[in-house]
Amino acid sequence: MPYFIHTCPNCSFTGETGEFARAGKSGGEDLPTDQEFGCRKYGLLAERYASEGRNPYRVAQIYHMGACCARLSGKPDLERLFLEKALEWLLKAVREEAVPEEERAVALYLLGEFHRLMGDFDSALTYYEMAMRQESAEKWLVELATRQMEHAKRGDRELKRSNDRPLLAP
């Protein structure tokens, strides 16, 4: 996942692939790869987008990608930080009606999921229910929200595969 976001090793400019002209050399030396920034590059990009006044929904999406990267990289503290930021920006996007109408049900579902993953089960249930009531809620999303509601009711905050097993089970 970290390869979708790039960070310049010289100036720390962070952007998506289309924002870079090319990778090159500086002073005749090979530049280090941006892999050293790992999942942190998602935070750098989200911060840049926020400071530029970009759509809060896009900022939330970048933080969510960072949370996924951190989970897959075994960095629970960074995952929690990015989940908190994704939640903050997604709430802002919903309040400001910055979420496209056709994506509103998914955004509300994600608010439920972020709350569940952070252990706020009552809020999770509220947002899952809101997501299911949206006109844009497709059958797959209603089924997913229904299943995730059961996890929230049990106080289960683990990320699940489609077969309801924890994603990172031993």
Residue 28 confidence (pLDDT): 45
Q: What is the pTM of this model?
A: 0.78
Q: 25: Cβ–Cβ under 8 A, 6 or more apart, which residues? A: 31
Residue 155 confidence (pLDDT): 95
The whole-number average pLDDT for the span 113-134 is 96
What residue has token string 């969510």?
64
pLDDT value at 143 more than 90: yes
Distance CA 67, CA 43 (A): 9
Could you give the dihedral angle defined by the CA atoms of residues 60, 157, 121 and 83, in that order, rounded to the nearest 10 degrees? Answer: -20
Residues in the chain: 170
pLDDT value at 89 more than 70: yes
Q: Facing residues of 82 across strands?
A: none
Residue 35 confidence (pLDDT): 61
Could you give the dihedral angle defined by the CA atoms of residues 118, 130, 65 and 13, in that order, rounded to the nearest 10 degrees? Answer: -110
pLDDT digits (tens, 9 = 90+) for 8-37: 766 777 777 777 665 554 554 554 455 667
Domain ranges of the chain: 1-17+35-99, 100-170
Q: Which is nearest to 115 in space by CA: 156, 72, 70?
A: 156
